[in-house]
Structure 1
Amino acid sequence: MKKYFSLLIVAILGGVITLASYKLFLEKPYVVSEMSNANAAQTFTTSFNNPPAIAMDDEGFTNAANKTVHAVVHVKNTSIATRPNSVFDFFYGSNGGQQREQVGTGSGVIITSDGYIVTNNHVIENASKLEVTLNNNKTYAATLVGTDPNTDIALLKVDADEKLPYLAFGDSDTAKIGEWVLAVGNPFNLTSTVTAGIISAKARDLNPYDDKIQSFIQTDAAVNPGNSGGALVNTAGDLIGINTAITSQTGNYVGYSFAVPSNIAKKIVDDLLEFGNVQKGILGISGGGLNSSIAKEIGIDDTEGVYVAGVEEGSGAAKAGLKEGDIIKKIDNKTIKNFADLTGYLTSKRPGDDVNVTYSREGDLKTSKVTLTKNESYSIAGLGLTVKNLSKEDKKKFDTDYGVKITKEGAYYSNSNLQLEGKILLSINNIKLNTVDDVKAALASGSQYNGNVLIVLNQDGEKERYFLQ
């Protein structure tokens, strides 16, 4: 028994000596930071002796932030939604239903001291009542002056009893990639929130297959739901963009945010104030941006610019001498690398404006002055047709004082031995057509289930009737 206890004591002493030796000579020190509150949440730094961040002028941030927060407002959109009474309403249409209020929120930017406010169209869409709250907590009823869904810009007006703080539009064309910017808005109803980042890219088109104008400024400043319609400013506090969108799989910010450039927003606002609608100036070309695969397909070496696939008859581009196969490289002093560069710049122009277009033709650079014209054409995607307003020559040739000319038809028509190109479309669903705007209205008033009845005038003066589903 004594021998057993002797062995046990020796074993214990050996273990203690071994553990002490390990602690003293082998184990690296491990420091635990104490917290004064045992229940407090722990935070961990992600800096592991990295080099210090690039020095930034703190005054530039604070001055720009202080200047901006007072001109950014909280926008409250109240709309009326109808809730179906039963499951049958989903299939046979609502039979009255229960009406209830829906409230959405976003941001806006005061751009004049007398209360004009720019925001996003999607912030105020379908509103029955609009309210804006300033940074000083004063709330005003707002009226809708006008909107442009194509660029997602809307203009509001409030009547205040005092001059309001506002932001002046800056020149978004001079903004540079890598430049510091601030995003100011009301994410998640957290009013007057300021985030910082840099300009990551310009002329970004998120959906090249959409007919909406997209030439966004991309930043890495944190933008979340509620920021829409808020300000993107440079360190001088100049308004260079209206925060509009994010790309995310969750609906919240994951590193990319997008703003409508101020030059586009300013032009839309000016048009709404002066004309009540947006004046769109066009070159009169069709085509698209280039890359390696497209360049190989059409047999050219250029991978940057806009390839001219067609020139509209009577357009400014046609009068200036542009031809199919030309590659647009520059407009005025702006380099054109892709289609979004082109559309973004032209969106800031009006019909009648002159632009200098530099293009490559068989390797030679040429420059022509092009007078932008009003959009006279419209592509009817559902019918596979492109139409344009009638010229004086068309009216005389076809002996008609109304209608629109069919300038392009899809493969469906040639495959079906139908030929509509070159003829005059007189009416759709018994709605007389005078301009391409009438075409849009006629299609909007129709039903997608009933098809469309087209009356067409051919070159012999005969009327043809077509039913297209």
Structure 2
Amino acid sequence: GRPRRGTGSGVIVDPEGYILTNYHVIRGASTVRVKTFDGKTYVPEVIGVDPETDLAVIKISRGDPFPYARMGDSNKLRVGDWVLAIGSPFGLEQTVTAGIISAKDRVTDGENAPFQRFLQTDAAINPGNSGGPLVNLMGEVVGINTQISTSTGYFNGVGFALPSSLAVEVYNQLVRRGRVARGYLGVYVKPVTPPIARLNGLKEPQGALVESVTDPESPAARAGLQTGDIIVEIDGEPVRDSRDLTRRVASMDVGRTVRLKYIRDGREYVTSVKLGVRPSLADRREEPLRDEPRGKNAQPPEEKKSSGPSRLGATLEPVTPHVADVLKLGAVRGAIVREIEEESFAETLGLMPGDVILSINRVEIRSPEDVKRLFEGLRSGDDVVMIVARANRGVGPSRSVLSGTIP
């Protein structure tokens, strides 16, 4: 077929011709051309890309220095400050639109969410604006226009720009070594829910819940962190939530040793962790795929089904040696979830067929009968925090922490 063409924007930030833009502007392109404000065209060199933040640095060259934009400090911006968005929406070059900073530290959905906290603006941003600068009234670049929130594909009054504080940090690493190296703990984390907070004696949900450790040799595993731990401080600074932890660890130098305070079973502990190198997005499939085991080798033999507690709404079975081996349980223990009733508490918790329940409210589960006995003592309004083993296609076995309050 005929080659597809796309248009994006960028900003020259150095007289030698270094340009900041979005990674998605150049991603997958067989040829990239840069047209500058004076109408001249250049074929750039790609210096480096960072898919995690959707930023890229490219470079154009000529004998004379290029005019360039000065970077500003996005941390000094306040909601209500006037800003200008510059770019080529719909291919209309050198277009300037005006608006204000509508919000700061805005988080959007997506695989890059842990590293992206946007400036929100009502300056018009449309297709073709991506990679262009958001500037303050002094002409300083305070953001890189990246996303819009829309149901039509066009501007609906809400646009997002990566703040210059983040862009400068990524730019410096890409120019220096062509890639971004981020600190890495080696844990999957999720938000602390009210039931989990109450079970661990926290006054309110805070910190990052360790759902599972990526592998036995990860920095977190070597430091002794386990599923169900709640990381509440890093180097003496409180951890607000799981996104906060991921972003702060990623911003730290590889090889740095940090002190973590965490809660386990309601008690505080402190450990030291030497940070590793976070795998790049291209090398990592870190988000667990929520699939049950696939293929003949992953399927346990059929067992006689036994009904689970009515409050749970799930059919349970004993764990077989085969399942214990597949899920690396270390012993034949737990209760397999076979079926989930619709609109049941089990469905609300997020249980899935094939999950193995390992513990409930810190009580180890060795058989379906343990689950029944435990639920017999629970009443409406009681919290349930459950650790399950789950087989994830393409990722391998992992642990998940599920929580809820019995209706």
Return the TM-score normalized by structure 1. Answer: 0.53
Counterpart of 1:373 in structure 2 is 276
Cα distance change on mapping 1:344 and 1:379 into 2, 3 Å: closer
Separation of aligned partners in 2, 1:261 and 1:253: 20
Counterpart of 2:161 in structure 1 is 259
Letter in 2 for 1:224: N
Question: Root-mean-square deviation (CA), in Å?
Answer: 4.2
Cα distance change on mapping 1:211 and 1:183 into 2, 3 Å: closer
Aligned partner (choices 142, 145, 158) of residue 47 of structure 2? 145
Counterpart of 2:244 in structure 1 is 341
Q: Are 1:419 and 2:322 counterparts? A: no
The question of whether the paired residues in 2 share the 8 Å contact of 1:214 and 1:340 is answered with no
Separation of aligned partners in 2, 1:355 and 1:173: 25
Task: Report the alpha carbon displacement of residue 243 of structure 1 after superposing the two structures with TM.
Answer: 0.9
Counterpart of 1:442 in structure 2 is none
Superimposed CA distance per residue, residues 245-298 of structure 1 (whole angstroms, 9 cap, x where no aligned partner)? 101011111121112233433333333333333322113333223455775688
Q: Are 1:155 and 2:57 counterparts? A: yes
Superimposed CA distance per residue, residues 150-169 of structure 1 (whole angstroms, 9 cap, x where no aligned partner)? 32212211112221122344
Cα distance change on mapping 1:216 and 1:328 into 2, 3 Å: farther
Cα distance change on mapping 1:174 and 1:105 into 2, 3 Å: same
Secondary structure of the equivalent of 2:6? strand
Secondary structure of the equivalent of 1:243? strand
Query: Percent of pairs identical after alignment?
Result: 39
Say which structure, 1 or 2, has more relative contact order (CA 8 Å, 6+ apart): 2
Counterpart of 1:328 in structure 2 is 232
Cα distance change on mapping 1:330 and 1:146 into 2, 3 Å: same
Cα distance change on mapping 1:233 and 1:221 into 2, 3 Å: same
Task: Tell me whether 110-119 or 260-269 shows the greater mean CA deviation.
Answer: 260-269
Secondary structure of the equivalent of 2:243? helix
Counterpart of 1:352 in structure 2 is 255
Letter in 2 for 1:108: G
Secondary structure of the equivalent of 2:24? helix
Cα distance change on mapping 1:177 and 1:250 into 2, 3 Å: same
The question of whether the paired residues in 2 share the 8 Å contact of 1:151 and 1:212 is answered with no
Aligned partner (choices 165, 174, 180) of residue 67 of structure 2? 165
Task: Report the alpha carbon displacement of residue 227 of structure 1 after superposing the two structures with TM.
Answer: 0.8
Secondary structure of the equivalent of 1:123? helix
Separation of aligned partners in 1, 2:11 and 2:99: 19
Counterpart of 1:58 in structure 2 is none
Counterpart of 1:122 in structure 2 is 24
Task: Give the paired residue count.
Answer: 301
Q: Are 1:283 and 2:190 counterparts? A: no
Separation of aligned partners in 2, 1:413 and 1:256: 53
Letter in 2 for 1:246: I
Separation of aligned partners in 2, 1:293 and 1:180: 42
Superimposed CA distance per residue, residues 129-177 of structure 1 (whole angstroms, 9 cap, x where no aligned partner)? 2222222333222232232333221221111222112234444455444
Q: Could you list the runs of 5+ residues in structure 2 that have no partner in the other structure?
A: 293-318, 331-392, 397-407
Letter in 2 for 1:229: G
Return the TM-score normalized by structure 2. Answer: 0.60
Separation of aligned partners in 2, 1:413 and 1:171: 59
Cα distance change on mapping 1:221 and 1:285 into 2, 3 Å: same
Q: Could you list the runs of 5+ residues in structure 1 that have no partner in the other structure?
A: 1-81, 83-99, 386-411, 424-450, 455-469
1:23-422 pair list within 5 angstroms: 82=1, 100-207=2-109, 213-290=115-192, 292=194, 295=197, 300-310=202-212, 315-316=218-219, 324-328=228-232, 336-353=239-256, 371-375=274-278, 379=286, 381=288, 416=323, 418-419=325-326, 421=328
Separation of aligned partners in 2, 1:346 and 1:193: 38
Task: Report the alpha carbon displacement of residue 417 of structure 1 after superposing the two structures with TM.
Answer: 5.5
The question of whether the paired residues in 2 share the 8 Å contact of 1:282 and 1:346 is answered with yes
Superimposed CA distance per residue, residues 360-412 of structure 1 (whole angstroms, 9 cap, x where no aligned partner)? 77889998775432137854856969xxxxxxxxxxxxxxxxxxxxxxxxxx9
The question of whether the paired residues in 2 share the 8 Å contact of 1:215 and 1:344 is answered with no
Letter in 2 for 1:114: E
Separation of aligned partners in 1, 2:274 and 2:140: 31
Separation of aligned partners in 1, 2:154 and 2:172: 32
The question of whether the paired residues in 2 share the 8 Å contact of 1:140 and 1:160 is answered with no
Cα distance change on mapping 1:353 and 1:178 into 2, 3 Å: farther
The question of whether the paired residues in 2 share the 8 Å contact of 1:289 and 1:337 is answered with no
Separation of aligned partners in 2, 1:120 and 1:159: 20
Letter in 2 for 1:230: G
Separation of aligned partners in 1, 2:137 and 2:125: 18
Separation of aligned partners in 1, 2:71 and 2:25: 20
Cα distance change on mapping 1:143 and 1:422 into 2, 3 Å: farther
The question of whether the paired residues in 1 share the 8 Å contact of 2:174 and 2:180 is answered with yes
Higher helix proportion: 1
Counterpart of 1:64 in structure 2 is none
Letter in 2 for 1:255: G
Counterpart of 2:382 in structure 1 is none
Separation of aligned partners in 1, 2:87 and 2:158: 16
Separation of aligned partners in 2, 1:197 and 1:330: 37
Separation of aligned partners in 2, 1:416 and 1:367: 34
Secondary structure of the equivalent of 2:25? helix
Separation of aligned partners in 2, 1:220 and 1:414: 59
The question of whether the paired residues in 1 share the 8 Å contact of 2:86 and 2:129 is answered with yes
Task: Report the alpha carbon displacement of residue 302 of structure 1 after superposing the two structures with TM.
Answer: 2.1
Separation of aligned partners in 2, 1:164 and 1:192: 17
Cα distance change on mapping 1:255 and 1:367 into 2, 3 Å: farther
